[in-house]
Amino acid sequence: MNFDYTEEQLALKAQIRAFCEKEIKPEMRRLEDAQVYPLRTIKMLGEMGFMGMPFPREYGGMGLDYLTYVMLVEEISKISPSHGVAVQTHHALATWPIFTYGTEEQKRKYVPDLASGRKIGAFGLTEPNAGTDAAMQQTIAEDKGDYWLLNGSKMFISGAGVADVYVVMAMTDKSKGNHGISAFIVEKGMPGFSFGTNEDKLGIRSSTVAELLFNNCRVPKENLLYEEGKGFKVAMTALDVGRLGIAAQALGIAQESFDMTVRYMKHREQFGKPLSSLQALSFTMAELETKIEGARFLLYRAADHLDQGKSDISVTAAKAKLACSTVAMETTLKAVQFHGGYGYIKDLPLERYMRDAKITEIYEGTSEVMKMVISGGIFGRGAKHEEKQVRILKDASELKAVLAEHPGDICWSGGRGLTAAGFEKLQQLAEKTGGGFGASRGAVRAGLAKEEDQVGLTGRTVAPAVYVAVGISGMTQHLAGMKGSGLVVAINRNPQAPIFAAADVGLVGDAEEILDELLAIL
Ligand code: CAA
């Protein structure tokens, strides 16, 4: 991997920097204070081609690779992180999904206008109850034959009201969970589509954020993006690309704050010498530079993976975003600190960078979500506890019938919900059925069973054809010892006991009485 800048990349970086210095910088303060979307300069970026950087020329784009795209988002964000997010949302969350999942007709209709910046794109996923848990969509899209009827709302939508084209996720079949979510292309002006008021924010204040409101909004049938039920995939893969853009935005903030601090430390003198000669400060700068460079390599590698067409960039993109946003926050805090009072007042943009950096740890997936994605890469995405649907039986005779359908060894295991007499009954059942015997850690500690009987993480592992857990609450440590079992039977007085979530069948009632009944009929 060689990430040295090419001549073309250097020329584009210089071009965009010069534009940002000339056109954006002078009006930044005014737009940020007033929370006004920078439409004039976004349109100018479009005229220069920078609103369609990675899309093919035949669709109105510049035909650049994603590596160059992130370098340029980084460059824009050095001067204006608000422009950085506006540019990247438009590219990754609106134009990219239409270009990637759209029909040829949809691509021809929308991409050239978006890629040229004639139209601006936005993304509607987040809802009041669906932030990090993005699959909890409550906006509904009903199939009305020749159109879709959307009802619901989205919140915290970047570019809401200014953007012309929105990629919006909505539930088309609630019973299917994330497989019931579909994506739609919704245009400003469609009947029943309106916007809430702008949110007053800590940072990136000229990137406006508001609600999308759908009140019997009619969306043409042909505006379903990709297939019905595939909207979550559209959203997640778009966010993978989006996270590269946010990482680039964060990196731009980090780099600019760092460079300003280096310049300041060279000329600012205290105690008769420049700040750069104070080791506590210069060592901090050494650490920050190392972290910024590390974050940059993660970002460029993730963008390179996208350029290579790797099918899944989730983990590499998450690492890039986590590293870049963390270092942006750290660098901006230090930059303000090292500038002292000058860092805190608004003459310099450092206090703004510090405020702007914070959102990079939150939007397009919080740092915690990035860790979920990265740890999913280490341990597997399915490393979640799978809840079974337990079937509650009406009595011991029904359990007898179920056991008859599951031949093989049975392990009779008891917990603290049993008395010593109950444990004797369990032993008798084990002998009677030729099965094994076990106990929970709690029962062993309470002296109801022997240490060697303990089933669980700190005890034995068993995998019988049938595991009968009697009076066991079902803590994770116990489940670890029995998870290879065939049929799991839970017998407990408390219907809320976690053991029922791990069981196939269950009996709710007095465990000792149920054991008496079983002894009588088995
Ligand atoms: N690519 C493709 N498929 C993916 C995927 C990805 N990156 N991530 C998940 N999936 C698929 C899984 O394979 C799985 O498919 P099956 O159901 O067929 O098995 C399905 O999606 C569900 O996966 P999970 O069970 O892992 O999903 P989950 O519900 O547990 O959620 C999550 C995972 C990572 C937490 C996800 O919900 C998430 O990313 N949350 C954060 C949302 C977010 O980033 N919001 C940002 C809003 S936009 C914004 O901020 C823009 C702005 O303002 C600038």
How far apart (Å, rounded) are the C-alpha atoms in residues 44 and 312? Answer: 34
Confidence at 475, pLDDT banded by 50, 70, 90: confident
Confidence at 269, pLDDT banded by 50, 70, 90: very high
Distance, CA 236 to ligand 1 centroid (Å)?
Answer: 5
- pLDDT above 80: residue 449: yes
Question: Measured from the CB, is residue 233 less than 6 Å from ligand 1?
Answer: yes
User: What DSSP designation does 221 have?
Assistant: G
Confidence at 381, pLDDT banded by 50, 70, 90: confident
Atom index in ligand 1 nearest the CA of residue 240 equals: 7
Q: What is the pLDDT of residue 387?
A: 56
- pLDDT above 60: residue 317: yes
User: Quick one: which H or E segment has residue 234?
Assistant: helix 231-267
Residue nearest to atom 22 of ligand 1 (CA): 178
Residue 406 φ/ψ, nearest 5 degrees: -125, 75
Both structure tokens of 182: 């579909």
User: Quick one: which H or E segment has residue 123?
Assistant: strand 121-124
- pLDDT above 90: residue 80: yes
Mean pLDDT of 360-366: 98
Distance, CA 97 to ligand 1 centroid (Å)?
Answer: 15
Question: Measured from the CB, is residue 135 less than 6 Å from ligand 1?
Answer: yes
How far apart (Å, rounded) are the C-alpha atoms in residues 281 and 338? Answer: 8
Mean pLDDT of 375-397: 81
- Among 194, 201, 160, which Cα is nearest to 34's? 201
- pLDDT above 90: residue 300: yes
Question: Measured from the CB, is residue 504 less than 6 Å from ligand 1?
Answer: no
Atom index in ligand 1 nearest the CA of residue 237 equals: 1
Q: Read off the amino acid at residue 197.
A: T
Mean pLDDT of 46-70: 98
**364, 368, 387, 452: the active-site residue:** 364
**pLDDT, tens digit, for every residue of 220-253?**
999 999 999 999 999 999 999 999 999 999 999 9
Residue nearest to atom 40 of ligand 1 (CA): 132
Q: What's the whole-number average pLDDT of the chain?
A: 95
Mean pLDDT of 316-327: 98
pTM score = 0.82
Q: Read off the amino acid at residue 480.
A: A
Atom index in ligand 1 nearest the CA of residue 312 equals: 1
Q: What percent of the chain has pLDDT over 70?
A: 99
On whether the CB atoms of residues 159 and 189 are closer than 8 A, the answer is no
Residue nearest to atom 19 of ligand 1 (CA): 382
On whether the CB atoms of residues 365 and 318 are closer than 8 A, the answer is yes
Question: Measured from the CB, is residue 167 less than 6 Å from ligand 1?
Answer: no
Atom index in ligand 1 nearest the CA of residue 373 equals: 34
If one residue of 204, 233, 237, 314 were mutated to test the ligand 1 pocket, choosing by the most ligand atoms within 8 A of its CB, it would be: 233
**pLDDT, tens digit, for every residue of 113-124?**
999 999 999 999
Annotated active-site residue 364? The verdict is yes
Q: What is the pLDDT of residue 386?
A: 54
**Choice among 183-192, 242-251, 274-283, 421-430 with the minimum mean pLDDT:** 421-430
Atom index in ligand 1 nearest the CA of residue 372 equals: 34
- pLDDT above 80: residue 382: no
How far apart (Å, rounded) are the C-alpha atoms in residues 69 and 195? Answer: 30
Question: Measured from the CB, is residue 359 less than 6 Å from ligand 1?
Answer: no
Beta bridge partners of 411: 436, 467
Question: Measured from the CB, is residue 159 less than 6 Å from ligand 1?
Answer: no
Mean pLDDT of 455-459: 91
- The residue with tokens 């250097």 is 10
Residue 461 φ/ψ, nearest 5 degrees: -110, 130
Mean pLDDT of 514-522: 94
Q: What percent of the chain has pLDDT over 90?
A: 92
How is 61-86 classified by DSSP, letter by letter? S----HHHHHHHHHHHHHH-HHHHHH
**3-state DSSP percent of the chain in helix, strand and coil, to 5:** 50, 15, 30
Question: Measured from the CB, is residue 268 less than 6 Å from ligand 1?
Answer: no
Cα Rg of the chain (Å, integer): 30
Question: Measured from the CB, is residue 118 less than 6 Å from ligand 1?
Answer: no
Mean pLDDT of 120-130: 96
- pLDDT above 80: residue 401: yes
Question: Measured from the CB, is residue 15 less than 6 Å from ligand 1?
Answer: no
Residue nearest to atom 39 of ligand 1 (CA): 365
HEC profile of 152-169:
EEEEEEECCCCCCEEEEE
**Choice among 16-25, 85-94, 470-479 with the minimum mean pLDDT:** 470-479
Question: Measured from the CB, is residue 134 less than 6 Å from ligand 1?
Answer: yes
